[in-house]
Structure 1
Amino acid sequence: MKRMFLGIFLSLVGAALPVEASFEKAMEDYTAGNFTEAYRSFDALAAIGDYSAAFNIGVMYYRGQHVEHDPVEAWAWMQLAASQSGVESLSQTAQKVLANLNQQQQNEASARLETLLQSYSQEVLAEALAPVPMSDEECDVDRISIAKKQPRYPTKELRRGNFGRVVVEYSVMPTGHVRDVSVVQSNSDDFSRAAADSALYYRYEPLPQREPTTGVKTLISFSMEGGIANRDELVAELDEWREKAEAGDGVAQYVYAYRLNVFRSFKKYMDDVDLEYQTANQWYMESAKNGIPQAQYQMGRNMIAGRGCEADVETGMKWISAAAVSGLPEAQQYLASNARGMPEEQRRVHALRWLKNAAAGGHYLSGLLLAWELVSGPDAASAEDLALAERLVDADPERYFDEVRILETQAAVAAAQENFRKAQRLQKKAVKIADRLGWDLRDANHRQAAYLRGEKWSGPYYFDIELEPDSVQVAAE
């Protein structure tokens, strides 16, 4: 058993309870003395019913690490973990702490425990963390596509007689065009490129809102016969994953749920398969409870968006926070990009924290977003931040295909370095590509005007995207 001894008898619980990747990451921070990060992680994990994390919050209160020394609060968290997990060693430790409290403190500790149980007991969390299911017809949250460009079949793959299957993920702007196209699954680079080139031209029904709709997934199939290739094989594949999921395999539960969501693109070809969001959510939930970070992230995203369930932002963020603690870059990027309600200074600190974690894990889009945050603040960026931003924008995009964002971020870095001629050149190229794609990118013109004035860009990437009756189209020159 992995333990860290804290004092004569008090130890931070390690493997006494089932240990997931998220918990191990929190323990690493604790071991390294990064108590602020460790406490945040334990707090996020306790919110989804990880009683090892709850016990360790108690230890940190007892030791006065990140928080003030408070034996009353310490016992309440330890006893919460002991009572809900049934682990005898936790109960024994909690009793030792209780024995050192006077009668008044014991009364206060018992009252505090009752308060914690109202939020963290197994019964409360089982109900609070689960989505309230709704049919697709009831929730109706999907953006409606009004135009999709047929992808070009890669010549090399066509000659070989290969079928292609590519899952692309992107954001849909209020005006209906698509941004931040990424390939998340593909059977060849040629199919990836062809699918992404097609997705960049997709159009959706415009909506009067100020935020992009993120995390939209589409399955693009390449078949010489038209329609969907190997339909029966796809159904058989789903059946195989379902059998593994029903056997309790957490990874299989996630894969099965994910594929149900992705295959919605082919509902008309698979009308005998239950592809409803609420069905996928059932398996995401099982996988999330089994500690699979990807499932926790997807469960959180669906709860926030109200896909297959009543919308529940607070609970959705709990699941995403748990996934972020585990080191899942997509979850970390989501937390960084969805803190617009915070005061700007606090938002930037929050965004930089999570984006640095995600970028360190090799997540390309997070690197771009981090570069933007480093150079777009109200003050001049430090030499160290400029150097990091330059490295990030020069990285290989891999499976990310929004060239406009790449060029605009490179331009913002150049402007922050006071190389305005380079910034203008890069921004002009970005504007031309946006014009070719037919995008409404007023922001791009605002930035070009700033560079022409010899000013760096300060502020968010999207700041002028609300749908208006007469949307201004970006100019090529």
Structure 2
Amino acid sequence: MQLFAWLVTYALLSCSVKADLLDATLAYHQGDYNKAQQQFYELAQLGNVDAIYNIGVMYLHGQGREKNPAKAYAWFNLAADFGLEEARDTARLIAKQSEQQHQALEDAYAALLTNISYEKYDQELRPELTAEPVHEQSVYRSYTVEPTYPEHAYNNGLEGWVWLEFDIDKNGAVGDITLVDSYPKNTFDKPLINAVKRWQYKAPSEIEHAYYNRSLLYHFTTFKGEQYQQSFQRQQKSYQSEISELIDAAEQGNALVQYYIANWLSSDKYNASKLLKYHWQKDTASSELLLTSARNGYANSQYRIGANLLRGDYGRVDRQKGLNWVLLAAQNGFANAQYRLGRELLNKQYVDYAPNKARKWLIAAAAQGHFRAKRDLAALLFELNEPVADIQQALDDALKLDKSHPQLLLLQAKLQQQQKQIEQAKFSAQAALNEARDRNWSTQAISAFLTLLN
């Protein structure tokens, strides 16, 4: 149960990079109306109904700007379109009391709909949370190693989760792994990464190409035996205030708290989830809170929603909506989203293939230290026949993080071949081959290149 108190403290003291509904509301109550409206407007574009309603309130009362019943009418109607029916009653009351002609009110509403509307949100962003997942079974895990539960965490009753993304090569081996997020930090990360490195995947037929961005949210939970059930009932009351703090923070618009609770609710085996599910009882509570956090501007949640849409978690694979959410997270500076967007734009089977745009996002992610972005940026520059100096700089930058990486050594060999440095190319390619064998990675491309050299 110690973990739950830690969760409360961490989540309430942490803050997200982008302003959320709570930040905007605090600015509003402090009288900083310009800041509040700007933040409300950014959230309104994501379909945040509370932000939409609050803009209507500000126009109605002239807070930070002149009173404007027509614009208030428009924003309240928009809030009703997003499901807040009480806002429609307010709009009707404005129409009844307003001295303006009804057509002027409707014109203001129509003008607003050209920028923000539920129809646009429905077409471009809204996931169908109640739909059953539909996943393409292109590859499946054929060999699993369970991670070791850290002794200090187990002894102290700590539970948590780790979010990884990784590649699968043509051998079915797990390639490069990226730690996206985890809680608590630096507790379960290494045990899971060490285990996942040993996993193997297969396909119904031969794996024809590498798979990128396989996503995994792994939950570390302690065994819940009879003794635990008895102590859980006794300790539940002592954590009531912490539960209330979390619930209040989430409902007041703290996007980070919403994100953490969504993660806890995605499993029913946590101490935290058992307590929180007294309040959030719906089967879709985890997905709904994740979407709320995403509409509240939190990049991690936006990226997760986008990745889920690309994977088919909400009834079908929806590439356009998925990319829209990933783009929002990338624009918010989330390196994993920037990398994912770059990779997606390099997929030649789609009409949105755009290598130059992909390069932009890979550069952005690489600048934040994202290894797979550094790796793929060097490969892309080589493919685009960029100047050797630029390719070498990108390659050296990636090699600083993994000096014996097989793909990077192969790229080094190809550069050396271009410069007629055949012996150096053979040496680099052989080193790549040896390292690929050590890692149990596919050697097909390296062997083919060595054959070409010899």
Q: Tell me which interval the TM-score lies in, with the shorter structure as reference length.
A: 0.5 to 0.7
The 1:302–1:387 alpha-carbon spacing in structure 2 relative to 1, beyond 3 Å, is: same
Shift of 1:348: 2.4
SS of 2:38's equivalent? coil
Q: In the alignment, residue 318 of structure 2 is paired with which amino acid?
A: D
Q: Choose between structure 1 and 2 for higher RCO, CA contacts under 8 A separated by at least 6 residues.
A: 2
Distance change >3 Å, CA 342–CA 370, structure 1 → 2: same
Query: What residue is the counterpart of 1:434 in the other structure?
Result: 436
Q: Which residue of 2 aligns with 1:367?
A: 374
| Structure-2-length-normalised TM-score | 0.59
Partners of 1:206 and 1:277 in 2: CA distance: 32
Deviation (angstroms), 1:202? 0.7
Contact kept in structure 1, 2:46 and 2:296, CA below 8 Å = no
Q: Residue type matched to 1:203 in 2?
A: Q
Say which of 400, 408, 412 aligns to 1:395: 400
In 2: Cα distance, 1:145 partner to 1:161 partner = 31
Q: 1:197 aligns with which of 185, 194, 199?
A: 194
Q: Structure 2 matches for 1:329-408, cutoff 5 A? A: 329-339=335-345, 340-341=347-348, 347-377=354-384, 379=385, 381-383=387-389, 385-396=390-401, 403-408=405-410
Q: CA deviation at 1:299?
A: 0.8
Hey, what's the Cα distance between the residues in 1 that align with 2:401 and 2:394?
14
Q: Provide the TM-score with structure 1 as the length reference.
A: 0.56
Distance 1:221 1:411, change over 3 A: farther
Selected match of 1:250 from 246, 252, 255: 255
Q: How does 1:134-145 map to 2 (within 5 A)?
A: 134=130, 136=132, 139-140=134-135, 144-145=140-141
| Alignment of structure 1 residues 194-233 onto 2, 5 Å | 194-207=191-204, 212=211, 214-219=213-218, 221=220
User: What amino acid sits opposite 2:368 in the alignment?
Assistant: G
Is 1:284 paired with 2:281?
no
Match of 2:127 among 128, 131, 136: 131
User: Cα deviation per residue 1:232-276 (whole Å; 9 max; x = unaligned)?
Assistant: 99x999978963434432111122224455x59x79xx9997999
1:7 aligned residue: none
Distance 1:213 1:141, change over 3 A: farther
Report the Cα offset of residue 287 of structure 1. 0.8
How many residues are treated as equivalent by the alignment?
A: 349
The match for 1:17 is 37
Which sits farther off after the overlay, 197-206 or 295-304? 197-206
For the residue of structure 1 that corresponds to 2:178, the secondary structure is strand
Distance in 2, matches of 1:259 and 1:404, equals 37
The percentage of aligned residue pairs carrying the same residue is 21
Distance 1:275 1:147 in 2: 35
Query: Deviations for 1:379-437, whole angstroms, at most 9, x for unmatched residues?
Result: 35243x1352144123336xxx9944454455455556655544433433333343344
**Structure 1 pair 222–319 and aligned structure 2 pair: CA distance change class (3 A):** closer
The residue aligned with 1:36 is none
Distance in 1 between residues matched to 2:130 and 2:310, nearest whole Å: 14
SS of the equivalent of 1:217 reads strand
Question: 3-state DSSP class of the match of 2:198?
Answer: coil
Q: Rate the CA distance shift 1:324–1:283 in 2: closer, same or farther, 3 A.
A: same
Which structure 1 residue ranges, 5 or more long, are not aligned? 1-13, 24-44, 51-80, 87-109, 454-477
Q: Distance in 1 between matches of 2:191 and 2:169?
A: 22
2:174 is the counterpart of 1:170: no
Could you tell me whether the CA contact under 8 Å between 1:145 and 1:204 is conserved in 2?
Answer: yes
Partners of 1:134 and 1:211 lie apart in 2 by: 31
1:264-300 CA-to-partner distances (Å, cap 9, x unmatched) read: 9x79xx9997999954321221011111122111111
Q: Distance in 2 between matches of 1:182 and 1:402?
A: 17
Deviation at 1:376, TM superposition (A): 3.0
Residues 329 and 357, structure 1, Cα contact 8 Å, conserved in 2: yes
1:179 correspondence with 2:175: yes
Aligned match of 1:146:
142
* CA RMSD across the alignment: 5.1
